[in-house]
Chains A and B, each alone.
Chain A
């Protein structure tokens, strides 16, 4: 190598090392700068952490990194080492988890990553083996009078580990399945099944851990007796009463508190009005007005012979199509079958009957009609109404008949209402007559 090249190499090496030194001192410099912002802190005599004293004394030297760089660098490098240790552990953990996910069934407990290696030659009894393997710390104190320990045999640990590994493998398979299914736009079934496998695998693994890979200790402890009052009870009550007596005019305070609560309740209850308008006369409305035409949901008027006997249609008043309370069922039956009460004799021209479609039991639409038995039936609670005699309830829980709409035929042959429903439509309530 030529001298020129050598010098160049040396220069570049020096530059690199200088740059490296600068870079490596950058970290400690930054840390020292931020530490100097903390302000002076008096020494805490209870502070047992060893690092604080040395770092306090370095505060004022923070700027001069070169001189104090080495000592500050020691503390900071300790901190950096700690952080890098944590990062390293996290990386190891991630690596182990990934390895677990890929690896098939582990062989035995000894020497596997599921526990510390078990030098079997040092163990003489199964008890020692169990406690050595699992590092059980006996519960301290004299609480356990008669502990019952269940001892794990090495074979149980082996079986447990195998089963647990299977469960974990299934769980990770499920997890990967979920990710694949989700990102490829998979269906609900695949997503749910893989998620179930993921959780189920871990769940079974944990339970198996508790069954086969842990020591059970049953303890007996005395309970606190609730029979006798605690020694603090009487002093507490005395404190309360004593404290009470420090306030004068107690009677006035109690009465004004009671009155205040009463007033507050009145305010709260009043504010319930904000939740809605009060029930008003619209609850009692008969919906239809005399002379209104019957129309279908499309707005087409219905003529008197639009339906044949045995036919059915859903009709509304011409001005309020589609509203819940105004829905009416129009049915045509053979005129000789009608058995309406005398005062309703003219209400069914040519056998056309109209009733409110809102069940008087609980308000569902009475949507089912049996044409051969002339029964309107509500699908919610199976109330049946006979259309021939004014929709009287013939079975089921309804008590009141469906309100009937009187009909007449106008000059053009269309059906019109001769008045409102015989009763407000829908289920009964307190003020309805």
Chain B
């Protein structure tokens, strides 16, 4: 039966050669290579559950009075968008499950991207010829962060309304172009009726279209270039070792997808996320504490809490204090990440194509830098949760803030030194001699001066 189907298709499309190559395409076997697949399958789940939600969601900010099945909000003024979210949560059978699965899948999507990117960074998989794919992947990360922000702001509840006002303040703080950019993006001084419909269109159509296209490009490049290998017996830049796509790799990948679905469904059913009915509708005169954004923006939140009240006056003009932690710092971080493969190439003068990965211990500087950045982000994440930590542990928020301000400098310094020395120790003398042989004088000087 397979043969007759294949014959029918081939007589129309002439794809037998491509299909044969595809079935025999070699994929290396290592668990750390499957992290990107977790992200990919999370996106698939997002699209599937999102399609369900989009059929019920009403992206209108028209103000209505609620008379639905959730009694504590009966007679309360709210937007039609918020009412549609309540409708999905309480009246649509399976609606709350889809909504929660969607939100959990979004959190998992970005966590998987971060894990995947960390693996790429620490194994130097961004080297030539894969710099292009690194750029595509970074763009995917940025788009995913943005789409997540749009997504939970669409519910138009009190928590995301506070987040929207903070986003407004951040956009307004950009010098010179801030107010214009903010008005274009949000439609006016928040809260304004144009914002939710605009985010709706961006979230369900414009940004996912870009994400899907870029995922296609990302996968096509990996396919074309073949995946990298860890160093080991039989592995060189000129060969690839692994198993064929069909049948075992396909089976494992499909199994991973189903397990992902299982975990997302378990979370969606057993752990409540974003209970918008308790937060209430967005109301600019109301506010709740614990108003953190979703976890992937928690580092910006922490930066905003820790950065002291320093603003710059230029006569009539002002750069507010929000600009530095929320615009400048993330901007610099992302620009550095984007340029990192090219920076490393320039530093190490290494323009060879690499198909074998570099173990983290083989380049202590790179690994230490990566660990330092991660420790900074984790400290900021914790600082962003300081009121939650205060409630849970009973400590004072002011004390926690001072503590995190100190830790922000101390912990990354310790981590960088410790990781660097650990890598050197793991490699022993091998790293030093290899570095001098392979890398440029600059790099060798840096290493020798340590």
Contacts and interface: CB of A to CB of B under 8 A. Distances in A.
A–B direct contact (CB < 8 Å)? yes
Interface of A: 139, 143, 146, 182, 185, 188-193, 195-200, 202-207, 209-210, 214-227, 272, 275-279, 282-283, 297, 314, 322-325, 327, 357, 361-365, 367-368, 379-383, 393, 395-400, 426-433
A279 B180 contact: yes
Interface string B79-104: 00000000000000110110011000
21 contacts: A182-B93, A188-B269, A192-B270, A195-B265, A196-B263, A199-B262, A200-B262, A218-B242, A223-B237, A226-B225, A276-B194, A278-B183, A279-B182, A279-B183, A324-B285, A363-B166, A367-B287, A380-B289, A427-B322, A428-B320, A430-B173
A433 B401 contact: no
Contact of B258 (A193, A200, A400): A200
Contact of A223 (B318, B319, B355): B355
* Chain B interface residue bracket vs A: 35 or more
B305 A382 contact: yes
A204 B184 CA distance: 49
B170 A362 contact: yes
B191 interface: yes
B240 A192 contact: no
A7 to B, nearest CB: 51
A153 B273 CA distance: 47
A322 B387 contact: no
Contact of A219 (B166, B242, B288): B242
Interface of B: 24, 26, 29, 93-94, 96-97, 100-101, 129, 162, 165-166, 168-170, 172-176, 178-180, 182-191, 194, 198, 225-226, 234, 237-244, 247-248, 251-252, 254-263, 265-270, 284-291, 301, 304-311, 316-322, 325, 352-353, 355, 386-387, 397-398, 401
Contacts of B100: 188, 192
Nearest to B284: A324
A277 B287 contact: no
A207 B284 contact: no
Contacts of B270: 189, 192-193
Contacts of A279: 179-180, 182-183
Contacts of A205: 255
A95 to B, nearest CB: 18
Given A139-B244, A380-B166, A361 B322 contact: yes
A205 B256 CA distance: 11
A27 B181 CA distance: 69
Contacts of B129: 226
B217 to A, nearest CB: 18
B259 A220 contact: no
Given A223-B226, A227-B353, A380 B285 contact: no
A379 B251 contact: no
Centre residue among A195, A216, A357, A367 by max chain B CB count within 10 A:
A195
Contacts of B262: 195-200, 203
A314 B283 CA distance: 14
Contacts of B309: 361, 383, 393, 396-400
Contacts of A361: 169, 304, 309, 321-322
A399 B180 contact: no
Given A196-B262, A220-B234, A433-B318, A364 B285 contact: no
Given A192-B100, A192-B266, A207-B255, A399 B238 contact: no
Contacts of A224: 226
